[in-house]
Amino acid sequence: THQWRGIIEEYRDRLPVTDTTPVVSLREGGTPLVPAQVLSERTGCEVHLKVEGANPTGSFKDRGMTMAITRAKEEGAKAVICASTGNTSASAAAYAVRAGMVCAVLVPQGKIALGKMGQALVHGARILQVEGNFDDCLTLARGLSDNYPVALVNSVNPVRIEGQKTAAFEIVDMLGEAPDIHVLPVGNAGNITAYWKGYTEYARDGVAGRTPRMWGFQASGSAPLVRGEVVKDPSTIATAIRIGNPASWDFALAARDESGGFIDEVTDREILRAYRLLAAQEGVFVEPASAASVAGLLKAAEQGKVDPGQTIVCTVTGNGLKDPDWAVAGAPQPVTVPVDAAAAAERLGLA
Ligand code: F0G
Closest by CA position to 320, among listed 328, 309, 330? 328
How close is the Cα of 254 to the center of ligand 1, in Å?
19
Residue 245 assigned ligand-binding role:
no
Residue 55 assigned ligand-binding role:
no
pLDDT of residue 58: 98
Angle at 225 between CA 222 and CA 229, to 5 degrees: 85
Where residue 84 falls among pLDDT bands split at 50, 70, 90?
A: very high
How close is the Cα of 134 to the center of ligand 1, in Å?
11
Contact, 80 vs 53, CB < 8 A?
no
How close is the Cα of 188 to the center of ligand 1, in Å?
6
How close is the Cα of 35 to the center of ligand 1, in Å?
23
Burial (0-12, 13-18, 19+ Cβ within 10 Å), 79: middle
pLDDT of residue 317: 98
pLDDT of residue 2: 87
Name the pTM for this structure. 0.97
Q: What is the mean pLDDT of the chain?
A: 97
What residues does ligand 1 touch, defined as CB less than 6 Å away?
Answer: 59, 61, 84-88, 155, 185-191, 240-241, 287, 289-290, 317-318
- Looking at per-residue confidence, does 270 or 332 come out higher? 270
Q: Is the pLDDT of residue 112 over 90?
A: yes
Residue 187 assigned ligand-binding role:
yes
- ipTM for the predicted complex comes to 0.99
How close is the Cα of 61 to the center of ligand 1, in Å?
8
* Residue 194 Cα: closest atom of ligand 1: 13
* Ligand 1 mutation target, pool 84, 186, 188, most atoms within 8 A of CB: 188
